[in-house]
Structure 1
């Protein structure tokens, strides 16, 4: 059973991005795309965009730990932007798959967004959704805006789920990359599921995912496709010229069991590509010729490549000298990645262009060749550097660097990120750029709902005539903007004056407090260690005393007894206690109490305080250099006390320690040397890790420290005086292409996502008017679950050993199938019924018995007598019923026939002529005889027409070989 649930980007919705869908195939939970919205919307029209995003993020957060597989289709923020945050913060650790360009482009786009937003706002602490008043400066301290003129109003904080740059790198490093048409058989919980990526167009590495499940069949996830060939990409592989089941559709993607596709532009009629390019180039040339500048907002990784190739070709053809400025932190890195992935490119940018550039470079001799070599970037030695060199392109990290190089009066074309104009360089440039007359703002995408880019697009579209609007297939004209527009600009500024002094004072106080806490912790640790040493010494002293008592008890020795020579041995009175002395590790004390620093393996120091009452506590310490163990005999004391009196001290001699083999509790001999060696290895590893951590800390200390700063937001009133033009360069299918491709794919069931209400209804109406098109079309809304196959009843049954032994299995694809006939028996020892062969059932030629649970004894049933058989006639035998499993593909049959020497040709829709002579351009041997025709006349029906010949039987045999024959 299949369950599909849109988390965002559903059908019949005005908010088309981001895209994220949950697909459950049996017990496998698959996340299709994980996009992020624009985190900095405009506060207008009460769209409640932030609430929609919050709902989406909470739904994804709840589902993240249960997801088993993640598939990313495109490398932009709308499809992959939220994956780093979900991976790092929400536990989305499931295996993720994408193509190599999608991984690289998504990493660049997410890094660009993370650094750009974090340089303007404190996203970890949240933000306020209340809009500041005109002329007021707001300072964001710990993520909250504070009105400098007075107390702030009620705060409504919303989280911005923006990952850190390090989290972005870690998340995308964990993605598994695949090549186009590379089937991957998954393991673990996803065992049995096979995924295959195919080219979708639109973006570099854009993917159509084909998911194959033994129980659910074939599922195809195809969103944001483009069938048109562009300058840097080929069109989608879904549309390919050729015959077969559906002419024009790539055979492996035809007739899926479920198609998940989008209807974003199903009601849009796009203009011709030639007209769009001409309008863009004419506008740019006219503006630069009049000494004006152009601002072209763009994305950081995907669609900007098409713009760069188009502009570079025009600059080279027209020999323009105006600069093309790209404001992006990751522009150079993006081009470096693209140059290393030339095999993924198409269109006019290909490996052949590399060879032509290298050849032309070789022909250039002398100064011209040296100049060409000098103009190359430092990374031109990689593959594809000549094809994507972009000699007229200049990179800038921020608007300040651009202003230092070119003044506002110099004509130039500026490509600034992001395309939505909601934050970053494009927004800050627009505030100054739009107020200059004759400047031009060029939009190449509509932008998300609630962004500044969508606001400008709506102004341009409303200013066009009804027949020239963007969705009518015409190219509109540029409009002169007037009036004013209030926008909020956020930035990070360094602290100065009193604010800097206050910050430094707080920092010093925090350091002092931290130092005091560390000192207190160190003192507490020392006290704990001292207490531990005291407890160890007391335990060792008590152990030695207990051992001495055990020896005396074993010898029968009491206080005041005679020694071996008949002398009385005095024992210290019980009230005189020997003072405890802490012994340091690795040292021993001599008789005077001095440290002798002898290198003994182990030493025991005993001290006795004799006649403490008379001598005022004078103490004499006795030390033994070796540790003696075992029972010893009594001896006469020859040590004198400090007062001259003889003291009694028993000492031990002639030690003997029995060496025993050390074994564990299971009797295995312990190899001490092995553990010592392993301990050394672990110690070395820990030392290396500590050394690496220390090096990282030193590098962090050596890195230049960022000056103290604060986040400031201000409202700017922009007087609009520039020109505005929209040219559609999103690179997506329009309504005509969508309504043509889907019926040719001819899915058995279809789910529509990512479409406005009008576009969704237009696609549903188009499919319903086609008789051969499926009627099972679903368009779920956000949070709505669609179940496919819920009416199928499943039962658990166990096959007996006799039945398994009698089954004849046939192999079909990755499975083995067989036909079984038997009776169900229920045993008292098992709750699962058992299917047994019919031969085990009691049968009789004349009677048949039936057992009922309500009757204690079987009741015979009367049957009709056998009809007399004529004398000499053979008994009638029932032919076994056979079933052929599989679906014939004429292209597969043609390949198999070619391998055995039979040539064939597709001459029409669903007709394959085999063994054709002469007219068809095929020549066969004379032994093959006449030709035959293989025709598909319906679902599961194949006709083979032709005379009885060798070709007929060989073709029929190959048709049978493409199916699994199951006989009853």
Structure 2
């Protein structure tokens, strides 16, 4: 059995994607934990409901639409981070930098506490909604959550980890294949029994400059690879198929470069909003190569990449060249012509310049990130240009994103180009007024503080009831006050970065606040060995990560072995001592007074002019090149988002922009189009086809096209092809056994069965006679002896009435007088899935040489070749005439190879 339920991303303009796959036995698989820029927790309710029953989670792309809610779920949903998660290495690394950029850029990413969760409080605020923010994750927590994800390589079949108290997974395997579109983007293949599922959302068949295409085809030949062919069900996205026609890579790149060249020549600046981790790699590579080749033509314009995690993203990209297109150079992302900007102060300084600039900024929706600051600065000048690189979806809220407004404005001004992938002609804003909303976090005041305290108390009670270990990540009621930062600071310099939550990082606070939080022994986890007295054992079976390692907390030493106080100023570096030796000692003495703490990574010294400057530890800047955000001076003010200590709420401010700049569109989303999918579906030949991840119009249009194409291929009526377009929450039954019936086997039939094991499955051939339950039961009773009848009646006396009501037919043995007539029907046959790599191992173990030649041919002893015909799925053995001299000789390679092939298959005879 296989059912599919879209939780987000079906029949909707929102790009967010969440899908639930359910297999026989209660196995539930969640694919993607996407979100959109509304950051509405109501869109995560379905995930929260299914968390206790999920078997594992799969992630496809490192974009907000596919992974945006991952950290939120880990932090706020009990037991979520205990579920096994699988993704490719680039998705893990780039997803981490994406969400770090997201949470540092906007307070809305934390999401607000739902109004219904505050309605039960005794502190009434009337009908007003205070928009109280949930607790924000720290950078350490984000890194820890992503470290829990299991990395996979392409074409690597993997059996997911089994969780306690979840249904057995059996022989279920998952395999990742390249999806293109993003670095590490994945097409998932899930095999469970007879069910073969291909989950392909947001893929791109074309190869790009830096990113490879989707891996539908093998390296040799034009056939779809065997694992992705003839699936039980194929889940495919419809987003992007509304374009009239696709354009080539060179035409797309040339269109964008020509727009940039024209704008720069007229003295204007160009803004290209994009995501901060996925498609930004392709755009940055294009601009770098363009400036390298034609820099003299644009020597008066500089290129900037503005993202809070730009340096980390590019360092990850340089370390994952094996995931990129073949031929990519080692220094492709070691930029010489692009300056990385990671601080808002540097972005503000850059925007204040008057010379032409090309700005590649996050994000595409212009709701968060530096792209919103850039469009405010550039909107008033008609010489400037904003190039939209993808269609901006509707998030379903009353306040649409600024990017969505620009996209609708471009469509309104250019109706003839609707559906085109490129519009080189740009349109002026003509002074149109645009409302832009910004979010800012402020501290709670008045009755909002006790209101938030009661909400935390209810959450802790809920998590304690569910026996989750995330309760430690919530603040205590006593900590929500003036002493917020003091109660949550860490006392150990060597605390483990992989510990989850603030309390897991702080052993001292755990020891003194256990009763206040009401933490149980299970919530403390393995920390109980050091936090509780007379506890010397902890069950680590089925545990993961730090829960399997004996805890250790390094205490901060205040004195050395001889009892002398350690003075930090005596260990200052030479440059610090030379800069201000006396001020350093005075500052260090003040910071080391009782009750004072200093962060180990920061050293504050007093300069000679009486000011104060902040020194950063060398490890933070040594790995940054000149373009990795390390150009800022140490005394440069950092006016990034104001960090509010303690609980906070979000307030919205609206400003009006006069839109005089020009707007253009060049599709850099790199998604499959209608022509590609119509050509590919007949080659894949799915038995069931499900379309999601698109708006209603393009989904229905693609479904009609698919029905026509598949019906023409099969020579059947169009209504005979199973093509589904589910809405949100609709469950689709796409099982391979939709025409199966249940029968019972008689005891005589069961005694005759001779089961054979084939890759974990039991296989047997049956020749029998189907009879009604009453007739078969009467026949069996006639064969039984009186003693057997009495024993059987005693055993089933309590369920006799239920047995009489059971009308399931029974499959019985064929009577002796019918055996001759059916004997020729049940001939022995071979069952199994022969794989050439497995055959190669068998032959090498038998002392033969077996190596792969060109075209997937296995050559044995240099004289016999074995291939598998992709069309008929038959094994073809070619031994040559000189190997047929003696059929009975064990030394003949041809017959030894055939014998090994038959040994790898199960011979099933009729019973």
2:321 maps to what in 1? 342
Secondary structure of 1:184's aligned partner: coil
- Mapping for residues 413-432 of structure 1, pairs under 5 Å: 413-432=358-377
Question: Considering only aligned residues, what root-mean-square deviation do their CA atoms show, in Å?
Answer: 4.9
- State the partner residue of 2:677: 738
Cα-to-partner distance string for 1:176-209 (whole Å, 9 max, x where unaligned): 1111111112343323211111111111101111
Tell me the distance in 1 between the aligned counterparts of 2:211 and 2:551: 51
Q: Give the secondary structure class of the aligned counterpart of 1:401.
A: helix
Query: Equivalences for 1:674-713 in 2 at 5 Å?
Result: 689=553, 691=555, 698-699=597-598, 713=652
- For the 8 Å contact 1:890–1:910, the answer to whether it is kept is no
Residue 442 in 1 paired to residue 383 in 2? Answer: no
**Match of residue 37 from structure 1:** 36
* Pair 1:715 & 2:665 matched: no
- The alpha-carbon deviation at position 14 of structure 1 amounts to 3.1
Contact 1:18 1:36 in 2 (8 A): yes
Task: Give ranges in structure 2 of 5+ residues lacking alignment.
Answer: 117-124, 163-167, 395-399, 444-477, 487-532, 538-548, 559-591, 605-641, 715-719, 787-802, 805-814, 840-854, 886-891
Determine helix, strand or coil for the equivalent of 1:98: strand
Alignment CA distance shift 1:293-1:154 (3 Å): farther
Checking the alignment, whether the CA contact within 8 Å between 1:464 and 1:477 is kept in structure 2 is no
Question: What is the aligned counterpart of 1:782 among 714, 724, 728?
Answer: 728
Does residue 97 of structure 1 match 2:86? yes
C-alpha separation between the residues in 1 aligned to 2:51 and 2:877?
57
Q: Which residue of the partner structure matches residue 520 of structure 2?
A: none
CA distance in 1 between partners of 2:654 and 2:667 (Å):
31
Give the superposition deviation at 1:511.
5.8
- SS state of the match for residue 555, structure 2? helix
The answer as to whether partners of 1:890 and 1:912 remain within 8 angstroms in 2 is no
Task: Tell me the equivalent position of 1:302.
Answer: 278
The TM-score, its normalising length taken from structure 1, stands at 0.60
Q: Give the Å deviation of 1:106.
A: 1.2
Counterpart residue number, 2:541: none
Paired residue for 1:77? 64
Change (3 A) 1:915 1:715: closer
Shift of 1:706: 6.0
Deviation at 1:116, TM superposition (A): 0.9
SS at match of 1:691: coil
Alignment partner, residue 487 of structure 1 = 435
User: Does the residue aligned with 1:190 lie in a helix, a strand or coil?
Assistant: coil
Decide whether aligned partners of structure 1 residues 185 and 81 sit closer, same or farther in structure 2, where only a CA change above 3 A counts.
Answer: same
Match of 2:208 in 1: 230
Aligned match for 1:760, one of 691, 699, 706: 699
Q: Give the TM-score taking structure 2 as reference length.
A: 0.63
**Mapped pair 1:87 → 2:43:** no
2:15 to 9, 14, 17: 17
1:38–1:448: 8 Å Cα contact kept in structure 2?
A: no
Find the structure with the greater CA-based Rg: 1
SS of structure 1 residue aligned to 2:106: helix
Structure 2 distance, partners of 1:876, 1:509, is 84
Q: Distance in 1 between matches of 2:660 and 2:248?
A: 30
Matching of residues 617-696 of structure 1 within 5 Å: 689=553, 691=555
Name which of 202, 205, 217 aligns with 1:239: 217
Q: Would the alpha carbon gap of residues 909 and 793 (structure 1) be closer, same or farther in structure 2, given more than 3 Å must change? A: closer
> How far apart, CA to CA, are the structure 2 residues paired with 1:98 and 1:834?
57
Is this contact kept in 2: 1:821–1:837, CA < 8 A? no
Give, in angstroms, the shift of residue 33 of structure 1.
0.8
The 2-side partners of 1:513 and 1:888 are apart by 62
Query: Which range is displaced more, 723-732 or 758-767?
Result: 758-767
**Pairing 1:869-880 to 2, within 5 Å after superposition:** 878-879=823-824
Counterpart of 1:408 in structure 2 is 353
CA gap of 1:834–1:432, structure 2 versus 1, over 3 A, is farther
The Cα of 1:24 is off from its aligned counterpart by: 0.6
Tell me the distance in 2 between the aligned counterparts of 1:178 and 1:209: 11
User: Could you tell me how far 1:80 is from its partner in structure 2?
Assistant: 0.8
Say if 1:276 and 1:160 are closer, same or farther in 2 by CA, change over 3 A: farther
Determine the structure 2 residue equivalent to 1:257. 232
Q: Secondary structure at the match of 1:274?
A: helix
Q: Distance in 2 between matches of 1:191 and 1:482?
A: 63
8 Å CA contact 1:886–1:962 kept in 2: the answer is no
Aligned 1:603-622 pairs, distance under 5 A: none
* Alignment size in residue pairs: 660
Give the drift of 1:438. Answer: 0.1
Cα gap change, 1:424 to 1:814, in 2 (>3 Å): same
Report the CA distance between 1:724 and its aligned residue: 1.0
Question: What is the aligned partner in structure 2 of residue 318 from structure 1?
Answer: 294
Find the aligned partners of 2:778 and 2:37 in 1 and give their Cα distance: 58
Q: Distance in 1 between matches of 2:239 and 2:479?
A: 57
Residues 769-813 of structure 1, C-alpha deviations (whole Å, 9 max, x = no match): 23345712222110111123485667596897x977864343433
Q: Which residue of 1 aligns with 2:512?
A: none
Which residue is 1:812 aligned to? 758
Q: Partners in 1 of 2:20 and 2:596 — Cα distance? A: 42
1:761 and 1:509 map into 2 onto residues whose CA distance is 51
For 2:713 and 2:406, locate their aligned partners in 1 and report how far apart those are by CA, in whole Å. 43
Which of the numbers 238, 257, 272 marks the counterpart of 2:248?
Answer: 272
CA-CA distance at 1:814 after TM superposition: 3.1
* Alpha-carbon offset, residue 347 of structure 1: 4.6
Residue 150 of structure 2 corresponds to 176
Say if 1:257 and 1:749, in contact at 8 Å, map to a contact too: yes
Where do 5+ consecutive residues of structure 1 fail to align?
41-52, 129-151, 355-385, 496-506, 516-677, 828-832, 843-851, 854-863, 868-874, 917-922, 930-949
Are 1:69 and 1:96, in contact at CA under 8 Å, matched by a contact in 2?
yes
Q: Which residues in structure 2 correspond to 1:352-501 (within 5 Å)?
A: 353-354=329-330, 386-405=331-350, 407-449=352-394, 450-464=400-414, 466=416, 468-469=417-418, 471-472=419-420, 475-490=423-438, 492=440
